[in-house]
Amino acid sequence: MESQSAGSEAKLIQLPQKRFYRQRAHSNPLAHHTFDYPPCPNEEYWDTVYPDRRNRQVRILDIGCGYGGLLIQLAKHFPEDLLCGLEIRVKVSDYVKDRIKALQHNAKVEKAPEAEDFSNLGCIRTNAMKHLPNFFEKGQLSTIFFLFPDPHFKEKKHKWRIVSDTLLSEYAYLLKPEGRIYTNTDVEDLHLWMVDCLTNHPLFERIPDEDLKEDICFKTMFEATEEGKKVTRNEGSKWPAVFRRLPNPE
């Protein structure tokens, strides 16, 4: 539905509806998919994702962003940074892109201030287990989220988990020193797996939950995602953990 904006010929547009973008909850990350990605990180590529980039860089990454709820909640808190969602599912990534475009359009119609114009949001359909170095420079990121990832319950499928010893070295390469990894899940076994992998990696150190009470990322990640809201509705448990990226050893 469209509505006339007061004093303007431009019109607000309706946000996309999830029911037209539904897709199965998870996708096999080791299956063959066709993705477009740059051969190496470059500024020209990011200009296509963020038309109003203003020389800002991607600093905050939501891997497996789902329907984009976390990105949208955090956008106004980090107006000087670009926030990027990565999603492997076609329809879900299309929904996030259409949602961002609608929010950006409506913000212009309503003459929202720059800090609330959603120009710092973007989404890429890609496989984070394979192509991250094609997009991001060493030490570029300040924050990576892994919220309610696929638990891959069967032991033979643990290699598909998005947090693993091998992948953590790649995440450490992309994070700046003192950057953070945020994890949350409703599966205790997966929580213990992720905590064990991160604890045993020499470049990560856990931050106690009590030290995160004023952390907007920590406070937001519990309810911003669709999965988080579903766990709350079902009165399930959530298992968070946050780790800082340590400096490289001398």
Catalytically active residues are: 150
Can you give the length of the chain in residues?
A: 250
Residue 66, marked binder: no
Beta strand extents in 117-228 (DSSP E only): 121-125, 141-147, 175-185, 204-207
Residue 88, marked binder: yes
Query: Quick one: which H or E segment has residue 84?
Result: strand 82-87
Alpha carbons 49 and 86: distance in angstroms, whole number: 12
Residue 74, marked binder: no
Alpha carbons 132 and 137: distance in angstroms, whole number: 9
Residue 225, marked binder: yes
Residue 103, marked binder: no
Alpha carbons 117 and 113: distance in angstroms, whole number: 6
Which residues make beta-bridge pairs with 181?
144, 243
Residue 127, marked binder: yes
Sign of the C-alpha dihedral, residues 178, 179, 184, 190? Answer: negative
Strand 175-185 relative to strand 239-245, pairing: antiparallel
Residue 64, marked binder: yes
Residue 227, marked binder: yes
Residue 87, marked binder: yes
- Which residues carry a binding-site annotation for S-adenosyl-L-methionine? 64, 87-88, 127-128, 147, 225-227
- Which residues carry a binding-site annotation? 64, 87-88, 127-128, 147, 225-227
